[in-house]
Amino acid sequence: MRETSKDSAPRFAVCVDNSDYEGSLELHKIYAVVGDPEALRDGDLRVIDESGEDYLYAAERFVGIDVPGAVERAILKQAS
């Protein structure tokens, strides 16, 4: 994933590549990230996808972002 350290995942990320996963990931959508340091070290990111479940995807498919508090609450409410 771009713009993060190798050991810490952002809380949110934007999908920048959904090729081969069009049914699971929406291009340019903000996703909640589930902390999984082992997956991140392996080059993967665990996100809550369109199924409402958390799955691993290649971290390079996402760009980590910071979001305002109101946006964070809305995303987390939708993901639960």
pLDDT (tens digit, 9 = 90+) per residue, 28-62? 999 999 989 999 999 999 999 888 899 999 999 99
Of the CA atoms within 13 Å of residue 40, those in its CB half-sphere come to: 19
* Residue 7 placed within a domain: no
Calculate mean pLDDT across residues 5-17.
Answer: 75
pTM across the whole model: 0.80
CA distances from 71 to 49, 57, 74, 80 (A): 17, 23, 5, 14
* Residue 6 placed within a domain: no
Mean pLDDT over each residue of the chain, to the nearest integer: 86
- Provide, rounded to the nearest whole percent, the portion of the chain with pLDDT above 90: 60
For residue 16, which of 5, 4, 1 has the smallest C-alpha distance?
1
User: What residue numbers bound the domain in which 55 lies?
Assistant: 12-79
* Residue 5 placed within a domain: no
What pLDDT was estimated at residue 9? 56
* Residue 2 placed within a domain: no
* Residue 49 placed within a domain: yes
* Residue 1 placed within a domain: no
User: Given pLDDT bands bounded at 50, 70 and 90, which one contains residue 78?
Assistant: confident
CATH number of the domain to which 22 belongs: 2.30.30
